[in-house]
Amino acid sequence: MARQFVHLHVHTEYSLLDGAIRCGELAARAVEYGMPAVAMTDHGAMYG
């Protein structure tokens, strides 16, 4: 049985100076790697 892995601490482009990946790209990578979920833990100014 394959073990599943979920990132619980991911910053996207909406965490200024701390994240680099765009939300759509993050979702695409999660699907590509077979991840059942990803926790986006942006901080600071959340806009967009």
Asked whether residue 1 is assigned to any structural domain, the reply reads: no
Q: What's the pLDDT score for residue 46? A: 61
Say if pTM beats, i.e. exceeds, 0.85: no
Asked whether residue 48 is assigned to any structural domain, the reply reads: no
Asked whether residue 29 is assigned to any structural domain, the reply reads: yes
Distance CA 2, CA 20 (A): 29
Domain that holds residue 11: 7-40
pLDDT digit string, tens, across residues 1-48: 678 888 899 999 988 888 889 999 999 999 999 999 999 999 887 666
Count of domains for the chain: 1
Asked whether residue 12 is assigned to any structural domain, the reply reads: yes
**Using the 8-state DSSP alphabet, how is residue 5 labeled?**
-
Q: What's the pLDDT score for residue 48? A: 61
DSSP reduced 3-state for 11: coil
Q: Which amino acid is at 12?
A: T
Distance CA 22, CA 40 (A): 11
Asked whether residue 47 is assigned to any structural domain, the reply reads: no
